[in-house]
């Protein structure tokens, strides 16, 4: 399926949020998918993934996660300088600020005539942001790819944003994907997440742990990329979101 792509400015209390909207070419409406990036923001790598998802029948909205400071409008390089800048952007952003921007983007998506159901997804820190997006009752299903900080609450400037403690607030369907070799979310952290979700009543969630997968194995730049696992993860995610 072919897609079309536009840059938009989403109004929020903190200022406009630069976002990319990628939608299928053809008759809609379509489910809307809020996609959160990793710390490097709107890179071509992430946008390639967003295009693949849009081609599977979603209107994908990809906002900057640091839209109000010095990183607004900046797609960071996958190098040490880019990593440090991305981590700095996270450290300067509170969970409350992330949450306020999320509400603004979901409001924007909800008002579009080409969007029906609202979904969320994200990668790394974006996986954590997607987890928090699931607190919004409008979000019918969420896929978190190797979310960091969920097990201990670390998110941006907050040492503990209390995300896992709010698991009972999630009303939609939930799928989480990890690589077995992810040092940021090792086996004990994954067990902590799963135990808390079960305790909150989410005994029908999907958890995928891919053998040999490293952190950010879906980023198609660098030595950690695993194309086969990436294809598998995206296939599973699309099937899940379409309500298999």
Q: What is the DSSP string of 139-180?
A: EEEEEEES-SSTTT--BTTBS---TGGGGGG--SEEEEEEEE
Query: Would you say residue 48 has pLDDT above 90?
Result: yes
Nearby residues of 195 by Cβ (< 8 Å), 6 or more positions away? none
- Read off the pLDDT of residues 192-229 as tens digits, 9 standing for 90 and up: 999 999 999 998 899 999 999 999 999 999 999 999 99
At residue 47, the 3 state secondary structure works out as helix
Q: Which residues pair with 192 in a beta bridge?
A: none
pLDDT over 90 for what percent of the chain? 97
Residues 230 and 146: beta-carbon distance below 8 Å: no
pLDDT at 27: 87
CA distances from 78 to 60, 84, 86, 165 (A): 23, 10, 10, 32
Which of 177, 172, 232, 165 is closest to 206 using CA atoms? 177
Confidence of residue 166 (pLDDT cuts 50, 70, 90): very high
Provide the mean pLDDT of the chain: 97
> The domain that contains 152 carries what CATH number?
3.40.50.1820
β-strands 30-36, 17-24 pairing: unpaired
Confidence of residue 61 (pLDDT cuts 50, 70, 90): very high
Report residue 35: phi and psi, to 5°. -115, 120
Q: What's the structural domain count of the chain?
A: 1
pLDDT at 244: 73
Supply the range of the domain harboring residue 232: 3-241
As a whole number, mean pLDDT of residues 34-50 equals: 98
Count Cα atoms within 13 angstroms, Cβ side, for 147: 34
pLDDT at 44: 98
């Amino acid at each position: 399926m072919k897609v079309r792509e536009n840059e938009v400015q989403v109004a929020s209390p903190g200022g406009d949020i630069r976002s990319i909207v990628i939608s299928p070419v053809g008759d809609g409406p379509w489910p809307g998918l809020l996609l959160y990036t990793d710390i490097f923001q709107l890179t071509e790598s992430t946008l390639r993934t967003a295009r693949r998802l849009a081609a599977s029948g979603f209107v994908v909205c990809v906002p900057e996660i640091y839209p109000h400071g010095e990183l607004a409008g900046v797609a960071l390089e996958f190098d040490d300088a880019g990593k440090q800048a991305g981590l700095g952007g996270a450290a300067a952003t509170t969970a409350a600020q992330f949450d306020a921007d999320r509400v603004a983007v979901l409001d924007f998506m909800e008002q579009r005539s080409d969007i029906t159901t609202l979904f969320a997804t994200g990668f790394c820190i974006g996986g954590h942001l997607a987890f928090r997006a699931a607190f919004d009752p409008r979000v019918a299903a969420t896929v978190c790819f190797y979310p960091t900080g969920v097990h201990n609450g670390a998110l941006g400037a907050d040492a503990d944003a209390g995300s896992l403690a709010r698991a009972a607030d999630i009303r939609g369907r939930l799928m989480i994907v990890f690589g077995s070799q992810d040092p940021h979310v090792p086996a004990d952290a994954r067990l902590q997440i799963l135990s808390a979700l079960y305790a909150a009543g989410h005994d029908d969630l999907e958890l995928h742990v891919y053998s040999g997968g490293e952190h950010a194995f879906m980023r198609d730049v660098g030595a950690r990329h695993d194309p086969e696992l990436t294809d598998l993860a995206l296939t599973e995610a699309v099937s899940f979101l379409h309500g298999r």
